[in-house]
Amino acid sequence: MSAALPPQTPASNASSMAITLQIVSIVFYTFVAFLCIGLPIAVIPGYVHDHLGFSAVVAGITIGAQYLATLLSRPVAGRICDTIGTKRAIVYGLSGIALSGAMTVAAILFEGTPQVSLTVLIISRMVLGASQGLIGVGTISWCIGQVGSEHTARSISWNGIASYGAIAIGAPLGVVMVGELGFITLGFALTIMACAALALIRNKPSVPVVRGERMPFWSVFGRVAPFGLSLTLASIGYGTLTTFITMFYTSRGWEGAAWCLTVFGICFIVARLLFINAINRFGGFRSAITCMAVETIGLMLLWLSPSTEFALLGAAFTGFGLSLVYPAIGVEAIKQVPNSSRGAGLSAYAVFFDLALAIAGPLMGAIALGMGYGWIFFFAALLSVAAFGLTILLSRRTGIDTRI
């Protein structure tokens, strides 16, 4: 990692800032979407477990249903972006979030009948998940179309900053809202924010659809799959943290679980801001391998944590570690498909992140049920080590030297 960056001139700095501002104006809609996802993420598992009376596994399935729906929506999201346009995909997604908010209100109104309430809540989470899929692919594809494929890493990185930053804000805010105003305010908040974003996007021009031959989604999927599997293994730690940190804290008799998500999000964002050019400088594989090692340390700290201070430190390391994993591997994955199938490539790659989050809920819920909540972070760390090894194998297959 000894390559030097070219000197920055005032003109190049100005150009870089202009590109960043274009990207930020688009990933704003990712921020809105993930703020809507973040608001209930720290309180829904407890609501399902404590208020509705279901087990930790069911609580995990409720969260996991959202990510499963995101996963299943990816092929459609990619096709919409490639054939109809990125803006249309985001509009559909925002409309789905508004609907999910209304269904969340309905679920809470039916809490006297737990089975009905849970069913409506799971459906609302699935609508939210499908909306996330549309907006996630739409914003990144829009950014790349706007600023050029040479800025793919930056586009993915800023989209991640928007998403995790929104979760870092939304998780503690959701806890405060529920504590002060009740669970029903979450549903109203989702609907209001989505409608406001729909009003803002109306007059924003989109980029033209890229012309050319479209690869079938499953052909794209096959090219991206080896890289996506590495992403899945590394990302289960994130799904574990977001889904079960509240119950992990409760099992230890601690308070302030939402702050773990905040620390994770802040460290994630800081790392991306500090090292946003690392992928272009050192390459996707080197960046991913380094980050996976840091993530593993963070998850082990969470597993061994004797106090909230150690847990926060573990969340910090996990956030730093995961910061560049998605864009670093993503840059290498998207190289495998033509620009005319970019949306399909991005959606196929994102499937593997969704898969990690869909698996994390029921898998780690079952481990927690049998072994206790602390052990979920140990097994997440083992999966991160597996991702580390697979990424090294992929880099060797492509002939890239990953020595630091």
pLDDT in tens, 305-320: 888 889 999 999 999 9
Cα angle, residue 156 at apex, residues 209 and 243 outer, rounded to 5°: 120
Phi-psi map region of 148: left, alpha, beta (phi>0 left; psi -120 to 50 alpha): left
Spatial contact of 396 and 84, defined as CB atoms under 8 Å apart: no
Range of weakest confidence among 84-98, 204-218, 223-237, 269-283: 204-218
Q: What is the DSSP letter of 49?
A: I
pLDDT in tens, 378-397: 999 999 999 999 999 998 87
- How far is Cα 177 from Cα 378, in angstroms, rounded to an integer? 32
- How far is Cα 192 from Cα 252, in angstroms, rounded to an integer? 36
What is the reported pLDDT for 208?
64
Q: What is the mean pLDDT of residues 36-57?
A: 82
- How far is Cα 400 from Cα 387, in angstroms, rounded to an integer? 17
Spatial contact of 186 and 174, defined as CB atoms under 8 Å apart: yes
Percent of the chain with pLDDT over 90: 28
Three-state secondary-structure class, residue 373: coil
Q: What is the mean pLDDT of residues 98-114?
A: 90
Q: What is the mean pLDDT of residues 250-277?
A: 84
Alpha helices in 148-283 (DSSP H): 152-181, 184-201, 217-252, 257-274, 278-282
- How far is Cα 208 from Cα 206, in angstroms, rounded to an integer? 7
Q: What is the mean pLDDT of residues 248-267?
A: 84
What is the reported pLDDT for 343?
74
Q: Which domains occur in the chain, in start order?
A: 20-205+216-397 (1.20.1250.20)
pLDDT above 90: residue 127: yes
pLDDT above 60: residue 233: yes
Q: What is the mean pLDDT of residues 298-307?
A: 91
Most confident of 227-231, 241-245, 324-328: 227-231
